Amino acid sequence: MARFGRVLTAMVTPFRDDGSLDLDAAALLAQWLVDNGSDGLVVAGTTGESPTLTHDEQIDLIGAVASVVDAPVVAGAGSNDTAAAVELTERSTEVGADGILLVAPYYNRPSQAGLSKHFATVAAATDLPVLIYDIPVRTGRKVDTATLLELAHGVGNIVGVKDAAGDPAETAKLIAQAPDDFEVYSGDDSLNLALLAVGAVGFISVASHWAGAEHADMVAAFEKGDVAAARQINASLIPSYDYETGLKAPNPIPAKAMMRLIGLPVGRCRPPMDVEPDGLTEAAAEVLAGTRLGTHG
Active-site amino acid positions: 133, 162
Phi, psi of 157 (to 5 degrees): -100, 10
Q: What kind and span of H or E run contains 205? A: strand 202-205
Where does 26-108 show beta strands of DSSP type E?
Answer: 40-43, 73-76, 99-103
The C-alpha atoms of residue 39 and residue 111 are separated, in whole angstroms, by: 35
Q: Using CB atoms within 10 A of its CB, is residue 273 exposed (0-12), middle (13-18) or buried (19+)? A: middle
How far apart, in Å, are the Cα atoms of 106 and each of 150, 170, 271? 20, 21, 19
Phi, psi of 287 (to 5 degrees): -65, -45
Would you call 55 helix, strand, or coil by DSSP?
A: helix
The C-alpha atoms of residue 280 and residue 290 are separated, in whole angstroms, by: 16
Q: Using CB atoms within 10 A of its CB, is residue 122 exposed (0-12), middle (13-18) or buried (19+)? A: buried
Terminal Cα-to-Cα distance of the chain (whole angstroms): 28
